Amino acid sequence: MALDSIQGSLKERGVRLTRQRQILLELIDQTGQHLDAERLCQLAKEKDPKLNRVTVYRTLKMLKEGGLVDELDLMHYGGDQHYYETHLKQAHAHVICLRCGKVEEFFGEPLHRLRKQIETHTGFQVLLARTEVGGYCAHCQTLRARELDEMRKQPVEPARPAAVRSPARTRRARSGRA
């Protein structure tokens, strides 16, 4: 959803677009990243030092409840953090690298076909679909391959057999007599 569209929607709801809300909307919409609340707060404070954490969380809640911003967990890569993006009209999937956390968005006909298939198969009218795919980006695949090669090259030490004690020796050790 374009920033102008979000601003118009806020006005329709009688929500005043304050300078602080404007800053947050611009950050979410224009950074090209999926930002969590803490990072949003940091970036917003660079633009307006008076902006505080409470305002950030309150504004995110308002935007989320109004359907203007999507809250994502991105496969919990960052733990329990949630990430935010403006609500896009075009369906897309988030592809997350499970090693470095890189997020890419995938747009395409396969997602549209899947949605139609789900509607046909289940009888549901799909209003909201979130698709997350986890794997390894090209860079991390290369790093993993190198690590696996290194592990294969390292000599494997044979496992040492555990020392076997005779039952009599074990009883003496337990009783304090050696």
Whether 100 has a pLDDT exceeding 70, the answer reads yes
**Three-state DSSP class for residue 134:** strand
pLDDT digits (tens, 9 = 90+) for 124-154: 998 878 888 999 999 999 999 999 888 888 8
Q: What is the DSSP letter of 63?
A: H
Task: Give me the mean pLDDT over the 47-62 stretch.
Answer: 91
111: its two tokens: 């997602």
Alpha helices in 68-137 (DSSP H): 109-122
Whether 96 has a pLDDT exceeding 80, the answer reads yes
Give φ, ψ of 6 to 5 degrees. Answer: -65, -45
pTM: 0.65
Whether 89 has a pLDDT exceeding 80, the answer reads no
Task: Write the CA distances from 176 to 130, 162, 165, 172, integer angstroms.
Answer: 65, 22, 15, 6
35 and 60 in contact (C-beta within 8 Å)?
no
168/87 Cα distance (integer angstroms): 74
pLDDT digits (tens, 9 = 90+) for 34-48: 888 999 999 999 999
Backbone conformation region of residue 79, classed left if phi is above 0, alpha if psi is from -120 to 50, else beta: left
pLDDT, residue 80, reads 78
72: its two tokens: 């994502």
41 and 56 in contact (C-beta within 8 Å)?
yes
**Positive or negative torsion for Cα 75, 81, 87, 88:** negative
Tell me the CATH architecture of domain 3-154.
Orthogonal Bundle (1.10)
